[in-house]
Structure 1
Amino acid sequence: MSDNIDSLDMDLASGIAAFESKQFSRAAGLLAPLAEQGHAEARYRMAIMAQNGLGMLPNPALAYSYMKSAAEAGLGFAQHGLGFMYMEGECTDRNPAQAVIWLRKAADQGLVGSLTTLAMLYEEGRGVERDLDEARRLYRLAGFDEV
């Protein structure tokens, strides 16, 4: 059993390394089996590759499915990615209210990009009631001193 876990960890580490070094075809080959088994980190990276056609043909449905499952598993970057998909209408229908929900989950994990994007949505009143005080609070949390 531990040999199997070590092998999975090694495949994940190798897949992430291939992804980070932009060897997307190799990354897809290593990560696809792990994504199929439900591994959130693998699903997140497969979602990015499927969304952008990196190492595979673009596949918006697969990208959305993998991003959503990784987000539901609690992976902050996937929560941000899913929020962005909803915000921009990429790989799914545009849904600003859902974007806010997922960006808030990622922001709660301290992701600065999510805090900033959420602040912008509050500033513009997209997906939420316009609230400049909340926008300023979020911008400050993201590290902006003067807003």
Structure 2
Amino acid sequence: MHRPLRQALFCITLAFGCAYAGADPPAAALAQTAIGAYEAGHHDEAARLFERAARAGNRLAQFNYAMMLYRNEAQSRDANSAWRWLRRAAGAGLPQAQFTLARLYEHGDDVPQSLPTAAEWYRRAAGQGHVEAQVSLAAMHLAGDGVPLEAATAARWYLAAARAGDVAAQSIIASLYETGNGVVRDPRLAAHWYLQAAQQGDALAREKHAALMSQIEATTP
């Protein structure tokens, strides 16, 4: 696996949300126990429990077990086991698994690189509100990487991520409103989103907001 994605997987780590994710209560309870074992540093026990819950159909356990395998915190005789469990969790509709699978396909790590396949998995996660997937899918459409070059589609996903508070998306949608790329040009909306990004510490957005407000004020009767 390439170093950048390996580092990304360490940042993604395990998902410790509600364990009741697409399985019966016993499997969910098993997954919750596994989470407790992992947080206590008992990785062997956590891996065993995650695998049991994963085989029982709990998609969160499937994702977490896959992440443990990718991180070499668990072992399997099947060299493709991590990918298989990740794929099952993604197919079961877990957004974080869909996003992670998309990244594998985008970078060609452990799977043949396929930007269209990556875009499809980003789209599934983005549609469920996964902000990083929304930004990734927007970037692909803005550049035409593996998908049609569609500035309007890119703007729609950047706007969704901006509304969710993503600072990079706020800055980018601001620039799209400023230039009219993919959206109807609207300097005031551009200024609004530059301000949102600036308030989160984006220095360049702060400068652009100030410059744009000066232009707006100069042209306002």
TM-score, length-normalised on structure 1? 0.84
Question: How far apart, CA to CA, are the structure 2 residues paired with 1:18 and 1:126?
Answer: 41
Map 1:1-147; keep pairs closer than 5 Å.
7-20=26-39, 23-56=42-75, 61-143=80-162, 144-147=169-172
Gaps of 5+ in 2: 1-23, 163-168, 173-221
Q: Sequence identity, in percent?
A: 27
CA contact (8 A) 2:101 2:121 kept: yes
1:61-88 Cα distance to aligned partner (Å, 9 max, x none)? 1111111111111111111111111111
Corresponding letter in the other structure for 1:30 = L
How far off is 1:39 after superposition? Answer: 2.1
Q: State the SS of the aligned residue for 1:127.
A: coil
Q: State the SS of the aligned residue for 2:171.
A: coil
Task: Select the structure of larger CA radius of gyration.
Answer: 2
How far off is 1:117 after superposition? Answer: 0.9
CA contact (8 A) 1:28 1:46 kept: yes
Change (3 A) 1:23 1:126: farther
Q: State the SS of the aligned residue for 1:56.
A: coil
Question: How far apart, CA to CA, are the structure 2 residues paired with 1:51 and 1:16?
Answer: 17
The CA RMSD measured in Å over matched residues stands at: 2.3
Question: How far apart, CA to CA, are the structure 2 residues paired with 1:115 and 1:91?
Answer: 23
TM-score, length-normalised on structure 2? 0.58
CA contact (8 A) 1:51 1:60 kept: no
Q: State the SS of the aligned residue for 1:142.
A: helix
Question: How far apart, CA to CA, are the structure 2 residues paired with 1:118 and 1:14?
Answer: 35
Aligned residues: 143
Gaps of 5+ in 1: none
Change (3 A) 1:12 1:138: same
2:165 alignment counterpart: none
CA contact (8 A) 1:60 1:91 kept: no
Name whichever of 81-90 and 126-135 sits farther off: 126-135
Aligned structure 1 segments of 4 or more residues deviating by more than 6 angstroms: none
